[in-house]
Amino acid sequence: MINFQKLDSTIKVSLAYSTTNNILGFDIYGGLEDSLLSVGALKPT
């Protein structure tokens, strides 16, 4: 897993479920503040 925002700082990410402003009304991710991507998702097929 990589933090792809470190690869390209222009990528904007909104982690809605890491706040209380979501359909559930509570933060389901706890202290998560980074968006991670599987390395395999970056490899071409």
Q: Report the Cα–Cα distance between both ends of the chain, in Å, rounded.
A: 18
- State the pLDDT at residue 18: 86
Q: What is the pLDDT of residue 26?
A: 92
What pLDDT is attached to residue 14?
82
Strand stretches in 1-45, DSSP E: 2-3, 36-37
Q: What is the pLDDT of residue 9?
A: 86
Sorted by where each begins, the domain ranges of the chain are 1-45
CA distances from 25 to 3, 6, 15, 21, 22 (A): 26, 29, 14, 6, 5
Query: Please, what are the averages of pLDDT over each run of 10 residues along the chain (45 residues)?
Result: 85 85 89 81 69
Nearest-angstrom CA–CA distance, 31 and 16: 13
